Structure 1
Amino acid sequence: MENLVLYHVAERIATITINRPEKRNALNPQLVSELTAAFIQASEDDLVKVVILNANGNSFSAGADLDYLQQLQHNTFEENVADSNNLKKLFTTIYYLPKVVIAQVEGHAIAGGCGLATICDIVFATPESNFGYTEVKIGFVPAIVSCFLKQKVSETIAKEILLTGKTFSAEQAQQYNLINFVTNPAEIHQKVKDFALSLCSESSGNSLMITKQLINQTNNPLLEKSLETAVQINARVRESEDFKKGIASFLKKEKINW
């Protein structure tokens, strides 16, 4: 079976690549697990100073995999708690990683894919990239990512984009303070690499680590408690009639009448 995540190190940069282009890099338990393992590997790799997260194909990540959504309909509460904890582990691994993580977003970053980009320290995107937390449209709740999103954007913006589930452009994402740079497709690879190399050559690795810790810990001291609550909410919502109706209609490609 082909690896869903590729790991490559050069010039003190670890590049972690989501490698499921035929499924638009949609998230499933195996991909979440492989991504977590890759970030832990980068964390422990003495040859690595900075991490780049990117994806093969035309989408950064289109959210949850259809087979995975189908499986969720049959999960017990305990299975949904475990599944939510796996996503929490991926996000917290990136968030607390002692190395700077740069997201290179090309194409759509939707739902869980948008969450992945949100967690990263620095985000580059192309003008063609689209973002969105579309969970409410199919009976989901963007529970875990909301704990991180509120640290990047205002409450006003967080409510607007989480409650409407709308998709928005890279330019709009930059105005929301969700991402840092909008770069054309021909240049984004080199721009991201140059940014990473500048951190490697111009900044102390220990200082980068401690500065990231300082920002995260002082900006969000109650994060762990919020995440515990979010995991429970995520699992409970998956038992709701709205969730079952939304997923069933989504899988059948039927219009959902809320």
Structure 2
Amino acid sequence: MSAVLTEVVDRIGIITLNRPEKRNALNPEMIAGLHSAFEDMNSDGKVKVIVLRSTGKTFCAGADLAYLQQLQGFSQEENLKDSLRLMSLFNLVYCLPKVVIAEIHGHALAGGCGLATVCDFAFSVPDALFGYTEVRIGFVPALVSVFLQEQIGAAKTQELLLSGEFISASKASELGLITGVEASEFLRRSVEEFALKLVSQNSAFSMGKTKTLLRQLNEIERIKSLQLAAEVNSEARAHEDCKKGIAAFLNKTSPDW
């Protein structure tokens, strides 16, 4: 079973995270599959708008549990390569000329919340929780900090990343993290209607040029910041707090900070 599914309907490219048994957690295969899917959709002339959705009850729970176990044995170089792979995926989605809409039917946490952050629009069900929870297990939410600060500002970014708290969909909407909240029974239809409106009413050329322009405004600074973030991310993984936090998470205990 493929971890990432794709289809094209009415000029809408649909990318689906398909690891419901793992709460659509991110591992190298999932990250590589998403990267390929977005590149393919971008080069497909039949696709005008892209929708990102998931199967199961969770949109994306962040890093895969088994993969967290592997991280504990990674070298500094391996950790940097891993950080750069995730950085490349986030930056691809963020800078893709085609509009990307996230359809969030369940919780989006840690790296999963980061994935929602880099989409252009995001619609969620009311009971979904959001959170950049990395600080709770000794991680540093480095990569997402670059995109989040650009999207919602430094003060709100600091609040979310330093607290590591779960926030409701309504709070996420207030902060500008997501576009809107829809009742669960209407979410898919609302997203499809919004995507079809973009397809039918807006010029693909104009949307692409507008998004590209917006991304170019801070491009030099963003590239430098992302490189720094990837290095900080990889260095933080070797810290004792990170090792302690991962061990506690795997053992379903609370780390003694």
Question: Normalising by the residue count of structure 2, what TM-score does the alignment of the two structures yield?
Answer: 0.98
Shift of 1:219: 4.5
CA–CA distance in 1 between the matches of 2:193 and 2:39?
Answer: 24
After superposition, give the CA deviation of every residue in 1:122-156 in whole Å (9 maximum; x if it has no partner).
01001011100000000000000100000122322
Shift of the alpha carbon at 1:106? Answer: 0.9
Alpha-carbon separation, structure 2, partners of 1:84 and 1:255 = 25
Q: Which residue of 2 aligns with 1:249?
A: 248
Amino acid at match of 2:174: Q
Superposition pairs of residues 57-76 of structure 1, within 5 angstroms: 57-76=56-75
Residue type at the aligned position of 2:81: A
SS class of match (1:199): helix
Displacement of 1:218: 1.4
Partner of 1:185, secondary structure, is coil
How far apart are residue 157 of structure 1 and its match?
Answer: 1.4
Aligned to 2:177: 178
**What is the SS of the residue equivalent to 2:176?**
coil
User: What residue identity is the alignment partner of 1:183?
Assistant: E
Alignment-mate amino acid for residue 256 of structure 2: N
Match of 2:164 in 1: 165
How far apart are the structure 1 equivalents of 2:202 and 2:245? 48
CA contact 1:151–1:220 (8 Å) conserved in 2: no
What amino acid is the match of 1:7? T
The amino acid of 1:211's aligned partner reads T
1:71 maps to a residue whose letter is: Q
Q: Which runs of 4+ in 1 moved over 4 A?
A: none
Q: What is the correspondence of 1:1-258 to structure 2 with a 5 Å cutoff?
A: 2-219=1-218, 221-258=220-257
- Report the alpha carbon displacement of residue 221 of structure 1 after superposing the two structures with TM: 4.1
- Alignment partners' CA distance in 1, 2:128 and 2:248: 27
* 1:122–1:179 CA contact under 8 A, matched in 2: yes
Q: Which amino acid counterpart does residue 211 of structure 2 have in structure 1?
A: K
The 3-state SS of whatever aligns with 1:186 is: coil
Please state whether the residue corresponding to 1:14 is helix, strand or coil: strand
- State how far apart, in whole Å, the 2-side matches of 1:94 and 1:166 are: 25
State, as a whole percentage, how many aligned pairs show the same letter. Answer: 49
Other structure's SS at 1:27 match: coil
Summarize deviations over 1:2-51 as a string: whole Å, max 9, x none. Answer: 10000000100000000000011111111011001000000100110000
Structure 2 distance, partners of 1:169, 1:78, is 37
Q: Supply the distance in 1 between the matched residues of 2:254 and 2:112 (Cα, whole angstroms).
A: 23
Q: In 1, Cα distance between the equivalents of 2:153 and 2:203? A: 31
> Is the 8 Å Cα contact of residues 7 and 14 (structure 1) preserved in structure 2?
yes
Question: In structure 2, how many angstroms separate the alpha carbons of the residues matched to 1:65 and 1:156?
Answer: 30
CA distance in 1, matches of 2:189, 2:65: 33
- Partner amino acid for 1:212? K
Q: Distance in 2 between matches of 1:222 and 1:255?
A: 37
Q: Which amino acid aligns with 2:207?
A: L
